[in-house]
Amino acid sequence: MRSVLTSFWLPRHGSPADQYEDAFFPRRGGVRLGARLRVAIADGASESMLSGLWAELLVRSWCRARRRGMDEVVELAMSAWQEALRGYLDSRRAAHRPIEWFEEPGLDRGAHATVLGVELDWSVEAGLTWTAESLGDSCLFQVRGDELVAAFPLEDAAAFGNAPKLVPTQARQLDRVVASLERAEGRCEDGDVLFLATDAVAAWFLATAAAGGTPWRELAEVVPGDAAGFATWALERRRSGALRNDDVTVLRLEVSTG
């Protein structure tokens, strides 16, 4: 299997890069060869503290977990959260910026994020297939030629709201999270393109497609590695109201068996 991975990301307009609370993995784009590949995106909930750190832990846990399902991945990430939190607190103390009293309730509540993990597999018997597992409104889109052939977990822009399902850091909520996970699978043909997008871009993608547009073409025209070009693309759509002003993340994955 041969895949070409391209990533685009941007904080909300008016925010610095260190306030970007989405996450994606792998971070490095380019060509990948192999029988299996995992990719993931997550969207940290801005109303919770350290949501970007939690989103990063979720995507890395998925991509490094090989054959483990999202239920096991979330459990692993929850187990690793306390160590990640200690690292954050240590860094604050080292920078002479210890936690303030008003931050303590947010730390006690924990962090929250949506997550979408996708695995591509190739075998002689089954061909090229994908499996996706998610919680929340980060979405996968499969495009073949000039047609959208699959959307998961949401298929309608009207389905996006202000309270998506979220993965929390608290281990006591693991059973509820596992019960809410969604899963889908499909087959790929040579040249198919998969897009993983957090909610703002995902809602724009579905609304544009429903109106007869081709959002996959627009995204294909953004030059890989051109952060300024992607920022201009996003700003134009934010100003028109087509794209909500939020952190945006897109992974584009072109796949083939060659």
> What is residue 66's predicted lDDT score, i.e. its pLDDT?
82
Q: How many domains does the chain have?
A: 1
Say which CATH number the domain at 130 has: 3.60.40.10
Contact 37, 120 (CB under 8 A): yes
Indicate the average pLDDT of the chain. 92
Q: CA 43, 110, 140 angle in degrees (round to 5)?
A: 20
Q: How far apart are CA 136 and CA 102, in angstroms?
A: 29
Residues 6 or more apart in contact with residue 97 via CB below 8 angstroms: none
- Host domain of residue 91: 2-256
What confidence tier does 120 reach under pLDDT thresholds 50, 70, 90?
Answer: very high
> What is residue 98's predicted lDDT score, i.e. its pLDDT?
85
What confidence tier does 51 reach under pLDDT thresholds 50, 70, 90?
Answer: very high
